[in-house]
């Protein structure tokens, strides 16, 4: 028995974490996504899991941001190893310096993606860099609550649905908690990731020792996938034809990502981070070869945390009109499931990974996406130009 229909469940672990009788387990389905399963023999029917489930209480929480901020961490070395402008590191270091704990998504020894905690600046390295695979929350909500109840500060970072899950689990506001979410385009199946790694291991006859989904070679755009193997081989691929391609086409995403209720901006988080892809067009001066972060401050706590890092970065506030326009055109989730998605997962266990991706991501789709882009550009050009007033603070 489950808590919510699989197509809606985002696997946030709120129900698993809150069950007082520990009778909910998180179990992978045939696609490799974790879903809650209730042990009906142990269940006392208290209803707590259903009461707090963010997917069952999908009231619209979306807000349009008033102000976006383009931000670049002054430290080029950190920028280079982060996904965009390296803002996560600055925010997390601030909390660590206040003797707080930071929660984020890290690789384990076998490159599975899971949430963990860090209490030192060195410990933050594991969280740096986007991993385009759904991370398992495990015991992290419980560990975060324990620290908050003890009076320690905590910064919890994750996808918007994971932040919604944490808030649902906590059930009360904590002044010592900072929530940081990402402008998330969706999370890939951990099983697809495993199959990709197995494929790469079989090609290079070695196991990976370092992986980056966003290797800057030498710029952040286009994206490169990096895998370094134990035998010294380096796989560096522009828009990697296998994992990145399956992610880019949305074919490997969790079903709930296609009807995400937590994007673009969820009121639950204090700060939202993303990639400022169009920065070169809007503010050439804020373009950086290693990347520019997009920051949204959603609460007073978020604003206060940002004050702490201002001296360590270069930033520009974007006016409200342009912010809304940018959010409207950029913060979108995938519209509908990929038409070959079911076939892709049906053959995931049996077909070689390269053949699978080639076969089920077709050219017709690229053509349609290109056409949509051209039509959108034409519409943009026809509309009157916007008055772009910005305030450059630094
Ligand atoms: C699955 C996913 C999809 C994304 N989609 C978009 C998008 O469509 N548009 C956009 O503008 N930005 C997107 N981002 C955000 C973007 O890639 C950067 O994370 C963001 O710009 C912050 O970069 P940074 O340089 O400040 O810090 P970094 O050091 O790169 O930040 C790392 C942060 O991401 C968290 N993180 C990494 N992997 C995961 C994961 N699997 N699950 C949860 N948290 C994770 C870490 O805990 C840490 O908080 C996505 C991120 C992820 C993880």
User: Which percentage of the chain shows pLDDT scores above 90?
Assistant: 76
Phi, psi of 13 (to 5 degrees): 80, 10
Distance 379 CA to ligand 1 centre (A): 30
What is the spatial distance between Cα 165 and Cα 15, in angstroms, rounded to a whole number?
A: 8
Task: Establish if 37 belongs to a structural domain.
Answer: no
Q: Give pLDDT tens digits for 108-144.
A: 999 999 999 999 999 999 999 999 999 999 999 999 9
pLDDT the model gives residue 267: 65
Q: Which residue's CA is the nearest one to ligand 1's atom 34?
A: 130
Task: Establish if 48 belongs to a structural domain.
Answer: no
Average pLDDT on 69-90 reads 97
Structure tokens at 266: 């969820």
Distance 358 CA to ligand 1 centre (A): 26
User: Ligand 1 atom closest to Cα of 89?
Assistant: 29
pLDDT the model gives residue 329: 78
Task: Establish if 365 belongs to a structural domain.
Answer: yes
pLDDT the model gives residue 43: 96
Task: Establish if 129 belongs to a structural domain.
Answer: yes
What is the spatial distance between Cα 184 and Cα 159, in angstroms, rounded to a whole number?
A: 6
Select from 73, 78, 83 the residue to mutate for testing ligand 1; criterion: most ligand atoms less than 8 Å from CB.
83
Pocket lining for ligand 1, CB < 6 angstroms: 82-89, 104-105, 113, 127-133, 135, 157-159, 182-185, 187, 273-275, 293-294
Q: Give pLDDT tens digits for 254-296.
A: 999 998 877 766 668 999 999 999 899 889 999 999 999 999 9
Tally of domains within the chain: 1
Q: Which residue's CA is the nearest one to ligand 1's atom 4?
A: 184
User: Ligand 1 atom closest to Cα of 275?
Assistant: 11
What pTM did the predictor assign?
A: 0.92
Bond into 222 cis (ω within 30): yes
Task: Establish if 54 belongs to a structural domain.
Answer: no
- Name the residue among 235, 209, 208 with its Cα closest to residue 224: 235
Domain hosting residue 68, numbered range: 60-394
Task: Establish if 196 belongs to a structural domain.
Answer: yes
Average pLDDT on 239-248 reads 92
User: Sorting pLDDT into bands at 50, 70 and 90, what band is 61?
Assistant: low
Q: Give pLDDT tens digits for 351-369.
A: 999 999 999 986 666 676 6
Task: Establish if 29 belongs to a structural domain.
Answer: no
According to DSSP, the residues that pair with 179 across neighbouring strands are 156
Select from 116, 182, 184 the residue to mutate for testing ligand 1; criterion: most ligand atoms less than 8 Å from CB.
182
Task: Establish if 297 belongs to a structural domain.
Answer: yes
User: Ligand 1 atom closest to Cα of 180?
Assistant: 49
Q: Answer whether residue 148 shows pLDDT above 50.
A: yes
Q: Which residue's CA is the nearest one to ligand 1's atom 21?
A: 274
User: Sorting pLDDT into bands at 50, 70 and 90, what band is 393?
Assistant: very low
């Amino acid at each position: 028995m489950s808590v919510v229909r699989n197509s809606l469940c985002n696997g946030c672990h709120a129900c698993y974490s809150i069950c007082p009788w520990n009778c909910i387990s998180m179990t992978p389905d045939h696609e490799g996504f974790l879903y809650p399963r209730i042990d009906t023999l142990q269940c006392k029917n208290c209803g707590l899991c259903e009461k707090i489930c963010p997917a069952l209480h999908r009231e619209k929480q979306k807000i349009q941001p008033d102000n976006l901020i383009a931000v670049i961490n002054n430290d080029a070395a950190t920028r280079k190893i982060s996904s965009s402008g390296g803002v996560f590191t600055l925010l997390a270091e601030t909390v660590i310096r206040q003797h707080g704990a930071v929660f984020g998504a890290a690789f384990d020894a076998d490159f599975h993606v899971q949430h963990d905690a860090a209490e030192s600046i060195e410990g933050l390295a594991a969280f740096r860099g986007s991993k385009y695979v759904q991370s398992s929350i495990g015991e992290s909500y419980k560990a975060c609550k324990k620290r908050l109840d003890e009076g320690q500060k905590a910064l919890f970072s994750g996808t918007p649905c994971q932040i919604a899950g944490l808030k649902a689990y906590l059930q009360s506001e904590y002044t010592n908690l900072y929530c940081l979410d990402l402008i998330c385009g969706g999370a890939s199946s951990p099983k697809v990731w495993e199959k990709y790694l197995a494929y790469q291991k079989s090609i290079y006859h070695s196991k990976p020792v370092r992986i980056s989904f966003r290797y800057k070679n030498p710029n952040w755009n286009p994206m490169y996938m990096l895998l370094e193997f134990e035998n010294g081989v380096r796989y560096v691929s522009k828009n990697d034809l296998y994992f990145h391609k399956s992610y880019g086409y949305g074919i490997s995403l969790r079903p709930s990502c296609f009807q995400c209720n937590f994007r673009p901006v969820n009121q639950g988080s204090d700060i939202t981070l993303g990639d400022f892809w169009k920065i070169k067009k809007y503010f050439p001066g804020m373009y950086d070869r290693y990347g520019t972060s997009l920051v949204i401050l959603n609460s007073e706590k978020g604003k206060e945390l940002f004050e702490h890092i201002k001296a360590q970065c270069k930033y520009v506030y974007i006016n409200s009109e342009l912010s809304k326009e940018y959010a409207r055109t950029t913060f979108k989730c995938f519209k509908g499931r990929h038409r070959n998605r079911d076939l892709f997962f049906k053959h995931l266990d049996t077909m070689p990974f390269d053949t699978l991706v080639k076969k089920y991501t077709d050219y017709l789709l690229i053509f349609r996406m290109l056409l949509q882009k051209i039509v959108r550009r034409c519409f943009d050009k026809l509309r009157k130009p916007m008055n772009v007033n910005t305030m450059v603070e630094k």
